[in-house]
Every structure is written in structure tokens, then in C-alpha cells.
Amino acid sequence: MKARDIDRLHRRRDALLQRLRDVPNLMRGTLYEPQRKCGRPSCTCATGGPRHATLRLNVTLDGRTRTRFVRQAERAHVQELVAAYQRWWALVTELTEVNLALLSAAPSEEPSS
């Protein structure tokens, strides 16, 4: 690999590291919106009508999946935390690709005798 390509990879790595330093608050998890019955016998959902959408958060910690109901007032905040984690993970993946390319470009050192 040419020296200018290696320099370009170093600059890209430095830029990615700077972006990682600026990462906001984040949370790993998955948001999903299941449909459910509300439990009121007089509601149309009890007689086959449309069901109610709820927002749930799944997070796996220590090998256990935890599910939590997300209140409407929390929705935007939780979505922001999960989106920040996804952006962070994309940065980590990109940084890994750059570092792998740099490792591949480095000349192998001969063991001294």
C-alpha cells in the first residue's frame, strides 16, 4: 500500500476517534411496537376490532433479556438513546475496518537474530 494511502487511513482513523469522543448518552436495545388488547370488555379490540399499539424496549444484560414498557412521555428520549447507540456502533465498525486496513498495510517486521 502506498504511503499516501496509509496517511489517508491514519487521518480517517483520527477523525473517527474524535467522533467517538463526542458520543452522547446512549443505550443498547431494541424498540418494537406490539399490538395488544386493552382488557376493557366494551372496547372494540375485545370483539375483534383493531388492537392498541404499545411501545416496548428489549435490552439483554448478563445473558438475560429485559423487556420494559415505554411510556408515551419517554418515547422520544428512549428512541434518541437507542439511535445514539446505533450511531456509536457504526463508528466502532468503521474504526475497526480502518484499523484492519492499517494492520494489513504495515510491513511485516523481520525477527532480529
In this predicted structure, the answer to whether residue 89 has a pLDDT above a threshold of 70 is: yes
Is pLDDT at 106 greater than 80 in this prediction? no
For residues 86-113, average pLDDT? 82
Residue 112 falls inside a structural domain: no
H-helix or E-strand containing 83? helix 75-105
From residue 30, give the alpha-carbon distance in Å to each of 1, 73, 83: 40, 18, 10
Structural domain includes residue 68: yes
Q: Exposed, middle or buried, 62 (CB in 10 Å: 0-12/13-18/19+)?
A: exposed
Asked if the structure places residue 113 within a domain, the reply is: no
**pLDDT tens profile 9-29:** 999 999 999 998 888 899 999
Predicted confidence at residue 107, as pLDDT, reads 66
pLDDT at 68: 95
Report the distance separating Cα 22 and Cα 19, nearest Å: 5
Flag whether pLDDT at 1 surpasses 80. Answer: no
CA–CA distance, 101 with 90 (Å, rounded to integer):
17
Segment 31-80, tens digit of pLDDT: 999 988 888 888 888 888 888 889 999 999 999 999 999 999 999 999 99
Within a domain: residue 42?
A: yes
In-domain check, residue 17: yes
Residue 63 lies inside a defined structural domain of this protein: yes
Q: Is 93 part of a structural domain of the chain?
A: yes
| Residue 110 included in any domain | no
Would strands 35-36 and 52-53 be described as parallel, antiparallel, or unpaired?
antiparallel
Structural domain count, the chain: 1
Compare 34 and 1 and report the one with higher pLDDT. 34
**Residue range of the domain that includes 92:** 3-105
Q: Rounded distance, CA 25 to CA 95, Å?
A: 20
pLDDT above 80: residue 108: no
